[in-house]
Amino acid sequence: MDLTDAFGAIKSATLPPDWTSDPQKTTAKMSMKSCYSPNHDEVTITFFRRCDSVTPESIAVLHSTLSRAPQTIPDASKELIDLAPALGHAGNNQWASPKAATFRLIQAQTMLLRMRTVLYIRGAFIDPNDRKGINEYCAVFVDVPNSDIAVEEVFLQVPSSLGIFQFEQYRKVYLQVLESIEWR
């Protein structure tokens, strides 16, 4: 299945032919297109553009991070904490908000994706009461040219109840989708 309608910085992307998708949803605060696995409809690859609660300062930190050579972003670093507002819900992690974190961050790094630097985040959304996983998650955050109020991401969410093996299987599909992206 092709993502036939361009989405922000993405000109096109190819999903597996048996995946389905919703029509794109757009409001003043966000745009979103979700694609679903044929085997587990709660598994999604989502193209998401957020304009709500994104400040020019948080965008400036993201732009700065993406302007450097690919690198791992160290745990508990000032840079990681400063990136938290640009990461949306994934920014509510153990480094940015240790007592109230609902996202367990496992990995943060910049990397080249089809000749463009992106921020890759991996972790799990957790229940704040028992700290058990709800959804396994990975995402790339994309620099939006000529915007100081928007963040775009392409993310995979897999219910933690399906197990890490299923997450890794779906992550392979997700990485293939990322490799198919053509940028504007």
Q: 104-133: string of b/e by CB count within 10 Å (b at 16+)?
A: bbeebebeebeeebbbbbbbbbbeeeeeeb
| Cβ proximity of 4 and 12 under 8 Å | yes
Query: Does 4 fall in a domain?
Result: no
Q: Domain count of the chain? A: 1
Range of the domain at 80: 10-183
Q: What are the tens digits of pLDDT across the range 125-167? A: 999 889 899 999 999 999 777 777 788 999 999 999 999 999 9
Query: Does 2 fall in a domain?
Result: no
Taking alpha carbons only, the member of 46, 66, 34 closest to residue 142 is 66
Q: What are the tens digits of pLDDT across the range 78-137? A: 999 999 999 999 999 999 988 888 999 999 999 999 999 999 999 999 998 898 999 999
CATH classification of the domain holding 148: 3.40.1000.10
Give the separation between CA 50 and CA 110, rounded to whole angstroms: 20
Give the separation between CA 16 and CA 95, rounded to whole angstroms: 35
Q: Per mean pLDDT, which range of 30-44, 54-68, 111-125, 136-150 is the poorest? A: 136-150
Amino acid identity of 150? A
Q: Identify the helix (H) or strand (E) that includes residue 79.
A: helix 78-83
- Residue 149 tokens read as 């109020």
